[in-house]
Structure 1
Amino acid sequence: MVLRRRSVWWRLWHASALVVLLLALVLGAAAWWVHAGAAPRVGGELRLSGLQGPVTVTRDEWGVPHIRARASDEDAVYALGFVHWQDRSWQMDFQRRVVQGRLSEVLGAAALPQDRFLRTWGFQRAALSALPALSERSRGLIRAYTAGVNAAMKQGKVALEFRILRYSPEPWTEVDSLSWSKLMAYDLGGNQADEVLGTRVVSKLGRRGLNEVTAPYPAGAPTVLSADELGAVHPTPPAPVNTGPEHASRPKTGLPPATVQALQAHLNAARELGLQAVPGKGSNNWVLAGSRTASGRPILADDPHLALTSPMLWYLADLQGPTLRAIGASIPGLPSIVIGRNDRVAWGVTNVNPDVQDLYIEPEGARLSARTEVIRVKGQPDVHLRVRESRHGPIVSDVGAGEVGPRVALKWTALQPGDTTLDAFLGLNYARNWQDFTRALEKYVAPTQSFVYADVDGNTGYYAPGRIPVRKGWDGSLPVSGDGRREWQGYIPHARLPHTYNPADGLIVSANNQVVPAAYAFSLGNPRNWAEPYRAQRITELLSVRPGGLTLADVQRVQLDTVSPVWSDFRSVLLKTVPGSDLSRRALALLRGWDGNETVDSVQATLFEAWLMQLHGLAEDELETQTQMNSLSVLNQLRRNGALCAVNGQGTCAEALSGSLEAAVADLRSRLGPEPQDWTYGRLHRVASDHRAFGKVKALAWLFNHSAPTPGGTNTVNVARPQRGSYAQTHGASYRQVIDLSDMNRSVYIGSLGQDGHPLGRHADDQQGRWIAGEYLPMSTDPMDWGRTRTLQLTPDPPARTR
């Protein structure tokens, strides 16, 4: 979420250059002064109510807390809540305000579109319904975490953002620890966006256009599970249902432009929040059995690709209680390690992206309920929002169009009651073996993830848990009638979800590619759902070239690979382009000998990504909107001289190649000057870890944002797709881990920015340079690996009674 350019804030801070400069200087000086009082207590002793026994919190050289609780696991989680609030209080408060749809209270009317979207969908209502479904163990840990957060809040340290916006945070509640997971489920499972795009494509190009604009996953491309592994789980799958978009029995579901625009308004609001903003974003994880490693024990790697923000999403932590022993990446607000390991088991996640959302066009006469949401707006009267719901879910076509036209409802697994996903994550923290691991994942609901697994006994595995709807006779790619003919037939049973244990080839690779081959008994979604196979192919290739076995360092190099498999695919087509100017000719000459490595000092990387950026917009004139095709769809058009190459119905793909190259070099010339040899990638391609509220407010952005040149590009393993219009890297490997099961304390991890949410904090951005350079921190529970430390002792108040 950012304050909009035309908001009151923007007009105030941009009245004149002099005002901006003076305000920046004043705020800078004030920030230094304020920070002296906002810095958290990291040494000495604090007496806190709610603890059962003493807890030590030892922050290592990079600000990672190593929490040791002797009396109970609840004390360890209490301390996690305490340090989360110490270091990330603004982030935690902002995240819960997002879910609650209460941004306008503190940011003003500029945030109203986001609040309308959030209230209409009902994220907070879904979080409230999830709390009673959790196990007693989870409820106890949430209570302890909540007490720890509120104990830290009572210390009186106030983050700078609260002072700038002039409000105080409310006490933390138990439901606040569930709320952010709902936004994560949206960010990682937005099939509604595909249906809105599909509706627009069909209206402009007919149903043939669906496969043109978004190509189906290629036959023969790698799937996470092989046919052999699938056969072991589902020996006699039934014949697949004809679920293609041309299926004869599909009812007509055309929507008028005003309704499509209303649906698009929700997507636009979500993108203002940084959700689902970049096509082709994804994640990588893989696990190698001991048969493929030099040590003879498994190695597990994971790097989830998400928005790169300030502060970063993840918070590294090490928790140890009497039975809880987990280290890895947590999310402030959640009482668990989300990705990481304990002393026996390691796990990582990537997004599956099955189709778990459907848009239903409710017929006339369908029964609807209604509620009124009151949105408080800073400095303005309250806004009353009427939200209607059908039996399928909220009516999401009202925003931006009133209550006129077809009523389109959203059905989504994450809005269903009884979400026990937090039970699953807490269960993983305690898992001792594959049986514990899979039993924990039975509780998983959303968003469906590809979990890779390894343990100290040498076992490896994979599971894709979650509620995935079963559809009969339709594939969910377009809105359908809500008249009852297109209803979910339950969910895929947990035991029949895609999984494998100790696969024979000793390798599992997941990169958001298609999970299962065609023989699988169920549909996970339409064939256009999956990420292109480029990253999966490249990772598999790199992990298969060392006969002596791979080491930890080898696996790290794979995570950091910046060679473009897209360039390999496009090279022969692009180099046949007829240049339209001397500058285009010089650009082509530079590309001819390029090896595809997208380093910060590469001129060719700049040329290729700029050209690809132009080509991704190939369908925009046909669809009359900014639509980014993926690379595979563009390549299909270029190879076949497809109709989307034409502009207003005229022209060929050869002409499109010449024109797009000319547009790319003209754009680069305007940004970087007339000489191509000066167009090095790092001059344009920079990570943009921007603040969610102040990222585009120039008087404050310098204090809260963090930027630096980065390598990588579109569909490199180290994903770093440049943003159209700015070339900034806004999404990427938000966290990396490589876990060595032969010696757990040799494992490594790193985040994209730093532990500290305070912009002037010691650890605000001290991981960013290492992250860009491909370096890691020790993922170790051994104090010998922690470097210079500071220890805070938390003791019960009143003191625990001795027996």
Structure 2
Amino acid sequence: MRLWRGVGWVLFVVLLAMLAAVVVLRKVSNPLTSGTLTLPGLQGPVSVTRDRWGVPHIRATASDQDALYALGFVHAQDRLWQMDFQRRVAQGRLSEVLGEAAVPQDKFLRTWGFYRAAQAALPALSARSRRLISAYTAGVNAGIAQGRLPLEFRLLGYTPERWTDVDSIAWSKLMAYDLGGNWEDELLTQRVALRLGSAGVKAVQPDYPAGAPTILSTQELNLPAGSGPAPRTGTAVLPQDAQQQLRAQLRAARSLGFVSVPGKGSNDWVVAGSRTATGRPMLADDPHLGLSAPMLWYLADLQGPTLHAIGATIPGLPGIVIGRNDRLAWGVTNTNPDVQDLYVEPPGAPLTSRTEVIRVKGKPDVRLTVRESGHGPVVASSSDWGDRQARDVTLRWTALQPGDTTFDAFLGINYARNWSEFTSALSHYVAPAQNFVYADVDGNIGYYAPGRVPVRSSGDGSRPASGGQGEWTGYIPFAELPHTYNPASGLVVTANNRVVPPGYPHFLGNDHNWAEPYRAERILQLLQAGAPLTLDALARTQHDTVSLVWADLKAPLLRTQPADALSTQALARLRGWDGNETTGSVQASIFEAWLMQLERMAQDEMEAGDVTLTALAVRNQLGSNGALCRAPGVTDCAALLRRTLQAATTDLSARLGSNPERWTWGRLHTSYSKHSALGGVKAIGWIWNRGISTPGGTNTVNVGRPEPDTYRQTHAPSYRQLIDLSNLNRSRYIGTLGQGGNPIGSHYSDMQRPWRDGDYLPMSTDPRDWGRQELLRLRPTP
């Protein structure tokens, strides 16, 4: 009894210490959200009203620069650690604070030169963009000067440096990488071709299905349809050591969260008033990106004398990235054209070099020599060619080219009043190429796919080029990029699917550049059902979890001869299933576990863990009794189905118990929002990491592809918006976690459950819709 009393006192003291720590942490880390602050650099007074969700509604009267200043200030208040970490990633300076383990990542980042590309982009921007970026920078530095540093800085023992204008551009380069990693496809295509031949490439990277939806039809193209671009040839085979060097860089990129996930993508669509109950357009968007804690996006409402925009921002970047102003709305998904090429330089090709010094916490500096050709950075080298001469492999990529004016495009969109001004802004867009949907209060809708897409002298960009082949001769002219305005169909749907049908005269990318058509097909099914569309109908579409992959695979899967009693029970449950992957569905668990096994069917032909097939590739193999089904002890696809079903049920039994009644999808499938630097540290990662059971699966509209082996959902709709052009303040939006960066703050994860459950926040500039409010007044220094 005395022992328990002693333990109780110890626990009581520990609890008091923890409560005291929480009080201190709240005091020093939580932002000041009410009262008055006098700040240098403002031209006039600014009010920052945070609503019940912590969304700032910024009102500046003297200048638009003041509105951007205030945005920088609140970004620093709520997300300073996230901003500093993103900046360090772009700079390749993680080792300074994380130590020796981060050196491979810094080497990759310095070799590619993301921050140097940002430095080169700044002088190319317009005077207006430079003014707005500088105002934002001043606001960030005013926020840093408040001294209320997040916990991460205290744990890692350093303080953030002052923000610079280049820092604001730098993260956009990393976003371009995350949304445009074609070089990885080049490497994979070559390796598959060497092992399996051209037929194997088609099996692993199948053609986009004939008749599947494209974003634009032949009738909607503003270009005369022809025979399409001529086939091109010319590739180089990389030696093993060069491939290994490139794969090491891929591992470094993946460790930073830049992961190529089959089916990762986004949805957006716009419908004309002829299809809606209000008679005015409606627009929806939900970009699918990697989950993180804190979340990537930060919701904000900005108003200056001429800048009136609301939507999703990214901490570190000025302006609204996705959203609306008081005249028009826009949404984006990834286009993913082929904008990266690997080149094998001839022996003795002229190169420039520089030395990068990587400072390492607690260790000596690391010196890195970075070399570049006219194409770009040297990313691999080898002497193991047929003639034994040394050659370098270089990378050319639109985002590393000088003259990147993408910031002019995004800031210009914030100000645009009509289609003409909108497209004029997009003409400055460089990377990453995106599908923009558009709607305005006058009833117009449109679509444009801006960005620099190279025109090549030869080669299709699918494999490394050599000997002067595949040189870029220019870019597709802006006026000839895919676009449409007020299409007769009254509907534009994008889901990372193929952009244009055969006949488009320019080369955008190979079939494996496009996502499988399942999401696009399902969205079209729902939007074309017949009834006039409402915002609630669009919300149901965004949250739809019916799997067309199941509909595609149902017939061959149900013909499987089960190997044991558990497989028999599982198969019986799948019969009659409607394919709806809800959290309470047992069938969803069985199907996704089975599909996960089938997606590995090429791993015996390739290196284990190296190739994960898409659902479309699985369908093609099962439908044709394809060669990839065969493996040691497996003679055909029927035998493979029998074995993989048994493996899936065995796995589910080990995870969830032997009773299939308990195999519900929500017990297995949870979101995983991980802290970028500390989330993987077992002792403390739980403080920041967040998760919740989630519906959806592979290629559902509400996408929820499970991570192999863990079933966690690491990529998801990272932001959702629904915009009603008949009454803009009836629009809705939401993020995955919350506005704050403090893990014990009230707005760190308060959006997570509504996000999962299909709810939204009012995307309104009317204070009557904001609920409980906190007002912070910013005043210029006298």
TM-score (norm 2): 0.96
Correspondence list, 1:670-709, <5 A = 670-709=654-693
Is the partner of 1:707 in helix, strand or coil? coil
Aligned residue in 1 for 2:280:
297
Q: Using the TM superposition, give the Cα deviation of residue 488 of structure 1 relative to its aligned residue in structure 2, in angstroms.
A: 1.1
Aligned residue in 2 for 1:422:
407
Query: Distance between the aligned counterparts of 1:66 and 1:239, measured in 2?
Result: 48
Aligned residue in 2 for 1:563:
546
Correspondence list, 1:496-511, <5 A = 496-511=480-495
Aligned residue in 2 for 1:12:
none
Question: Could you tell me whether the CA contact under 8 Å between 1:738 and 1:748 is conserved in 2?
Answer: yes
Q: Using the TM superposition, give the Cα deviation of residue 28 of structure 1 relative to its aligned residue in structure 2, in angstroms.
A: 8.1
Aligned residue in 1 for 2:8:
none
Is the partner of 1:94 in helix, strand or coil? helix
1:87 aligns with 2:78: yes
1:97 aligns with 2:97: no
1:467 aligns with 2:423: no
| Aligned CA distance change for structure 1 residues 441 and 344 (closer, same or farther; 3 Å) | same
User: Which letter maps to 1:668?
Assistant: L
User: Which letter maps to 2:470?
Assistant: R
Aligned residue in 1 for 2:114:
123
1:148 to 133, 139, 148: 139
Aligned residue in 1 for 2:613:
629
Correspondence list, 1:608-623, <5 A = 608-623=591-606
Deviations 1:547-586 (A, max 9, x none): 3x10010000000000111001000010011111111111
1:166 aligns with 2:149: no
Aligned residue in 1 for 2:378:
395
Deviations 1:314-334 (A, max 9, x none): 000000000000000000001
Query: Distance between the aligned counterparts of 2:501 and 2:68, measured in 1?
Result: 41
Question: Could you tell me whether the CA contact under 8 Å between 1:266 and 1:399 is conserved in 2?
Answer: no
User: Which letter maps to 1:133?
Assistant: A
Aligned residue in 1 for 2:719:
735
Query: Distance between the aligned counterparts of 1:50 and 1:306, measured in 2?
Result: 35
Query: Distance between the aligned counterparts of 2:228 and 2:666, measured in 1?
Result: 51
| Aligned CA distance change for structure 1 residues 137 and 23 (closer, same or farther; 3 Å) | farther
Aligned residue in 1 for 2:123:
132
Question: Could you tell me whether the CA contact under 8 Å between 1:58 and 1:791 is conserved in 2?
Answer: yes
User: Which letter maps to 1:437?
Assistant: F
- Equivalent pairs: percent with the same residue? 64
Question: Could you tell me whether the CA contact under 8 Å between 2:295 and 2:737 is conserved in 1?
Answer: yes
Correspondence list, 1:510-529, <5 A = 510-529=494-513
Aligned residue in 2 for 1:572:
555
Question: Could you tell me whether the CA contact under 8 Å between 2:53 and 2:739 is conserved in 1?
Answer: yes
Question: Which range moves more in the overlay, 377-386 or 497-506?
Answer: 377-386
User: Which letter maps to 2:308?
Assistant: R
Deviations 1:406-437 (A, max 9, x none): 42110000000010000000000000000000
Is the partner of 1:261 in helix, strand or coil? helix
Deviations 1:288-345 (A, max 9, x none): 0000000000000000000110000000000000000000000000111000000001
Question: Could you tell me whether the CA contact under 8 Å between 2:634 and 2:640 is conserved in 1?
Answer: no
Aligned residue in 2 for 1:72:
63
Is the partner of 1:451 in helix, strand or coil? strand
User: Which letter maps to 1:759?
Assistant: P
Aligned residue in 1 for 2:754:
770
Deviations 1:659-680 (A, max 9, x none): 1111111111111111111111
1:661 aligns with 2:650: no
Query: Distance between the aligned counterparts of 1:447 and 1:55, measured in 2?
Result: 33
Is the partner of 2:310 in helix, strand or coil? strand
Aligned residue in 2 for 1:235:
224
1:57 aligns with 2:40: no
Aligned residue in 1 for 2:587:
604
Query: Distance between the aligned counterparts of 1:148 and 1:608, measured in 2?
Result: 50
Is the partner of 1:346 in helix, strand or coil? strand
Deviations 1:44-65 (A, max 9, x none): 0000010000000000000000
Query: Distance between the aligned counterparts of 2:708 and 2:336, measured in 1?
Result: 24
Query: Distance between the aligned counterparts of 1:525 and 1:472, measured in 2?
Result: 15
Question: Which range moves more in the overlay, 591-600 or 312-321?
Answer: 591-600
| Aligned CA distance change for structure 1 residues 756 and 607 (closer, same or farther; 3 Å) | same
Query: Distance between the aligned counterparts of 2:569 and 2:720, measured in 1?
Result: 38
Correspondence list, 1:753-792, <5 A = 753-792=737-776
Query: Distance between the aligned counterparts of 2:33 and 2:602, measured in 1?
Result: 54
Aligned residue in 1 for 2:4:
none
Query: Distance between the aligned counterparts of 1:473 and 1:366, measured in 2?
Result: 20
User: Which letter maps to 2:231?
Assistant: N
| Aligned CA distance change for structure 1 residues 669 and 262 (closer, same or farther; 3 Å) | same
Aligned residue in 2 for 1:550:
533
Q: Using the TM superposition, give the Cα deviation of residue 405 of structure 1 relative to its aligned residue in structure 2, in angstroms.
A: 6.0
Aligned residue in 1 for 2:172:
181
Q: Using the TM superposition, give the Cα deviation of residue 279 of structure 1 relative to its aligned residue in structure 2, in angstroms.
A: 2.0
Is the partner of 1:596 in helix, strand or coil? coil
Deviations 1:69-99 (A, max 9, x none): 0000000000000000000000000000000
Deviations 1:778-802 (A, max 9, x none): 000000000000000000101xxxx
Q: Using the TM superposition, give the Cα deviation of residue 752 of structure 1 relative to its aligned residue in structure 2, in angstroms.
A: 0.4
Question: Could you tell me whether the CA contact under 8 Å between 1:299 and 1:738 is conserved in 2?
Answer: yes
Query: Distance between the aligned counterparts of 1:128 and 1:460, measured in 2?
Result: 36
Correspondence list, 1:356-371, <5 A = 356-371=339-354
Question: Which range moves more in the overlay, 182-191 or 367-376?
Answer: 367-376
Once superposed, what is the RMSD of the aligned Cα atoms? Answer: 1.8
Q: Using the TM superposition, give the Cα deviation of residue 218 of structure 1 relative to its aligned residue in structure 2, in angstroms.
A: 0.8
| Aligned CA distance change for structure 1 residues 26 and 404 (closer, same or farther; 3 Å) | farther
Question: Could you tell me whether the CA contact under 8 Å between 1:146 and 1:172 is conserved in 2?
Answer: yes
Question: Could you tell me whether the CA contact under 8 Å between 1:607 and 1:664 is conserved in 2?
Answer: yes
2:206 to 209, 215, 227: 215
Q: Using the TM superposition, give the Cα deviation of residue 208 of structure 1 relative to its aligned residue in structure 2, in angstroms.
A: 2.1
1:330 to 313, 325, 331: 313
| Aligned CA distance change for structure 1 residues 258 and 111 (closer, same or farther; 3 Å) | same
Question: Could you tell me whether the CA contact under 8 Å between 2:333 and 2:495 is conserved in 1?
Answer: yes
Question: Could you tell me whether the CA contact under 8 Å between 1:262 and 1:399 is conserved in 2?
Answer: no
Question: Could you tell me whether the CA contact under 8 Å between 1:470 and 1:489 is conserved in 2?
Answer: yes
Aligned residue in 1 for 2:437:
452
Is the partner of 1:762 in helix, strand or coil? coil
Deviations 1:623-681 (A, max 9, x none): 11411111101110111111111115952111111111111111111111111111111
Query: Distance between the aligned counterparts of 1:606 and 1:238, measured in 2?
Result: 45
Question: Could you tell me whether the CA contact under 8 Å between 2:383 and 2:389 is conserved in 1?
Answer: no
Question: Could you tell me whether the CA contact under 8 Å between 1:262 and 1:400 is conserved in 2?
Answer: no
Aligned residue in 2 for 1:409:
394
Segments of 5+ residues of structure 2 without an aligned counterpart are: 1-12
User: Which letter maps to 2:378?
Assistant: I
Question: Could you tell me whether the CA contact under 8 Å between 2:50 and 2:773 is conserved in 1?
Answer: yes
TM-score (norm 1): 0.94
Q: Using the TM superposition, give the Cα deviation of residue 486 of structure 1 relative to its aligned residue in structure 2, in angstroms.
A: 2.0
Query: Distance between the aligned counterparts of 1:453 and 1:516, measured in 2?
Result: 18
Is the partner of 2:673 in helix, strand or coil? strand
| Aligned CA distance change for structure 1 residues 336 and 400 (closer, same or farther; 3 Å) | farther
Query: Distance between the aligned counterparts of 2:176 and 2:19, measured in 1?
Result: 37
Q: Using the TM superposition, give the Cα deviation of residue 240 of structure 1 relative to its aligned residue in structure 2, in angstroms.
A: 2.9
Query: Distance between the aligned counterparts of 2:584 and 2:724, measured in 1?
Result: 33
1:43 aligns with 2:34: yes
Question: Which range moves more in the overlay, 767-776 or 212-221?
Answer: 212-221
2:418 to 433, 436, 441: 433
Aligned residue in 2 for 1:17:
none
User: Which letter maps to 1:471?
Assistant: R
Question: Could you tell me whether the CA contact under 8 Å between 2:458 and 2:469 is conserved in 1?
Answer: no
Segments of 5+ residues of structure 1 without an aligned counterpart are: 1-21, 799-803
User: Which letter maps to 2:394?
Assistant: A
User: Which letter maps to 2:605?
Assistant: E
